[in-house]
Structure 1
Amino acid sequence: MRNSPTFVFVHGAFANSFSFAPLQAELALHGHRSVAVDLPGHGFEATFPVAYQAPQDLGALAAEPGSIKGVTLADNAARVIDVLERARQHGPTILVAHSRGGVTVTAAANARPELVDRIVYVSAWCPVDLAVGDYYAQPEMADVDAGAFAAALVGNPAELGLLRTNFRTADPAVLAAFKRAFAADLTDQEFRVFLNTFQPDENLDVGTSDDRARAATWGRVPRTYVRLADDASLPLAVQDRMIREADALTPDNPFDVRTLEGSHLRWLVHPGPAAELLADLAAS
């Protein structure tokens, strides 16, 4: 088993390791081991205030401290590096990121490329020419509807030191907007189940221009980009732009590009095709 790779999964914003459980089960049935990382302030380290329960007290929720306050991108990368160091004792590692998790795995590979045998970005941020925040002002993001998050935001991020979102809202307009953004091809039931795995708080630090992919370190690691064809929150145009920019940075080590049909969350709810794709990468 030593030559068999360990998949290391890194979640996106407001998510946690729990969302990878169905995919990990499918991978196990393909004969592969895996570990899903909870970044600092996520999973059982997250804050779920009493005011977040029903009946909700949004006034109190807006002022409640959160454990994720002060967590930085460097903290996230350190957590992933610790897992990679331990997993690497048992053989190769394949580092898989979803969504905002791509920023973290890029930072980890910038710092410790020798720990990673392949990076897989699944509709994940791979900042190359710009810092992540600057991509939001680009034409490729023009059709992304940020209204759902704005409407569900609780409290002042600058005062709280974190982003807090009320995923337990019953506002039908906000729920519909969330579904369009992340899960338009899921049933309403599947969508609500996934929504209830989200945690309310996320850290503010998504890095700066200094945290973009570096050719000398990150650029040495073989990489795959899995495009999600129907992703409305990170559109194909943005995914393809990051692929082009990365390939221009390291033309001798371009992305291996794959595509899965579906929305931002479908591959996690119906993980069969993704598990087959990852198993194929492990065998290559």
Structure 2
Amino acid sequence: MMNRRHFSASIAAGAVASLVASRGAAAADAVRPSAARNIVFVHGLFADGSCWSDVIARLQARGMNATSVQNPLTTLPEAVAAAQRVLARQQGPTVLVGHSFGGMIVTEAGMHPNVSALVYVAARAPDAQEDYGALAGTYPTPPASAGIVFDGDEGRLSEQAFLRDFAGDLPEARAKVLYAVQQPFSRPLLAGRVTQPAWRSKPSFYAVSTQDRTINPDLQRFMAARMKARTIEVAASHLSLVSRPDDIAGLILEAAGQAA
């Protein structure tokens, strides 16, 4: 016969299991996006819109309409406005994809009514008015941070840091081409804060780069878990969109409600 203590423990365990199951079901419901044919990409620091080329080619082969925003990297409001202008041109549901700092832009611009789902690729995913620098400071500092150099208010990544810490799993020749086209950013960009995080109301997906030396992988995992994102882990550098384009394209197709 079950004594009172065992009975109480059984009831408590059942309640916890029920709560976990209900939360899991809610998370599953949250990542069921509308079918979309449009994909809009936002690049981050130390890059330009061409960094998405390998992913774009794979999506175009699947009949998707892809557009890569040329992020001005000046201030967060100006960067968000650039993305919103591209989103306004889309006809129908659109998946908005951001890499690295581009996640800041996706988080804010994702409130646009055309956006049906968000995809973060080794990207920042802040909450409303959150100091991302303070959040990142609670994790070990990634090596790439030491490679940022400024000319006045214009910042860029040194060649050594770019090749080793940003694009470490790419052939050197390919990485050097990407280094040559990196777009400098303005220091005021880093002070921007998100006002409305779209991931709180829209299906979200996250690709964690497990070998990342630019954004700590555990920080990526924290942000993905916080937003209850459908998450994959990719054994890649910060540039998984270049070194593992099949994986990234597959996650985007999932966010677009398309069979991989």
- The corresponding residue for 1:267 is 241
Asked whether 1:84 is paired with 2:87, we answer yes
Residues 141 and 234, structure 1, Cα contact 8 Å, conserved in 2: no
Normalising by structure 2, report the TM-score.
0.76
- Return closer, same or farther for 1:73/1:98 CA change in 2, 3 Å cut-off: same
- The corresponding residue for 2:105 is 104
Q: CA deviation at 1:92?
A: 1.0
Q: Structure 2 stretches of 5 or more lacking a match?
A: 1-34
- The corresponding residue for 2:8 is none
- The corresponding residue for 1:225 is 206
Residue from 40, 43, 57 that aligns with 1:11: 43
- Superposed CA offset, 1:247-284 (max 9, x none): xxxxxxx2111222211114224523322332233216
CA distance in 2, matches of 1:35, 1:175: 28
- The corresponding residue for 2:72 is 40
Residues 142 and 214, structure 2, Cα contact 8 Å, conserved in 1: no
Q: Give the residue type in structure 1 aligned to 2:167.
A: A
Residues 128 and 242, structure 1, Cα contact 8 Å, conserved in 2: no
- Return closer, same or farther for 1:136/1:83 CA change in 2, 3 Å cut-off: same
Q: CA deviation at 1:203?
A: 5.0
Residues 169 and 243, structure 2, Cα contact 8 Å, conserved in 1: no
Corresponding residue SS for 1:34: strand
CA distance in 1, matches of 2:191, 2:108: 9
Q: CA deviation at 1:154?
A: 4.0
- The corresponding residue for 1:48 is none
CA distance in 2, matches of 1:193, 1:132: 30
CA distance in 1, matches of 2:163, 2:49: 21
Residues 106 and 212, structure 1, Cα contact 8 Å, conserved in 2: no
Residue from 210, 235, 240 that aligns with 2:216: 235
CA distance in 1, matches of 2:133, 2:196: 15
Identity of aligned residues (%): 27
Q: Structure 1 stretches of 5 or more lacking a match?
A: 42-70, 158-162, 168-173, 247-253
CA distance in 2, matches of 1:176, 1:164: 15
Corresponding residue SS for 1:76: helix
RMSD: 2.3
Q: CA deviation at 1:84?
A: 1.0
Residues 135 and 141, structure 1, Cα contact 8 Å, conserved in 2: no
- Superposed CA offset, 1:124-148 (max 9, x none): 000127322223422x233434222
- Superposed CA offset, 1:143-195 (max 9, x none): 4342221xxx24332xxxxx233x6xxxxxx5433322112211211211211
Corresponding residue SS for 2:183: coil
Residues 229 and 260, structure 1, Cα contact 8 Å, conserved in 2: yes
CA distance in 1, matches of 2:98, 2:38: 14
CA distance in 1, matches of 2:41, 2:170: 22
CA distance in 2, matches of 1:5, 1:24: 13
Q: CA deviation at 1:4?
A: 4.2
How many matched pairs?
A: 223
- Return closer, same or farther for 1:145/1:203 CA change in 2, 3 Å cut-off: closer
- The corresponding residue for 1:155 is 151
Corresponding residue SS for 2:89: helix
CA distance in 2, matches of 1:183, 1:72: 25
Residue from 188, 192, 195 that aligns with 1:204: 188
Residues 147 and 161, structure 2, Cα contact 8 Å, conserved in 1: yes
Residues 141 and 238, structure 1, Cα contact 8 Å, conserved in 2: no
- Return closer, same or farther for 1:32/1:233 CA change in 2, 3 Å cut-off: same
CA distance in 1, matches of 2:209, 2:155: 26
- Return closer, same or farther for 1:263/1:212 CA change in 2, 3 Å cut-off: farther
- Return closer, same or farther for 1:187/1:99 CA change in 2, 3 Å cut-off: same
- The corresponding residue for 1:249 is none
Normalising by structure 1, report the TM-score.
0.70
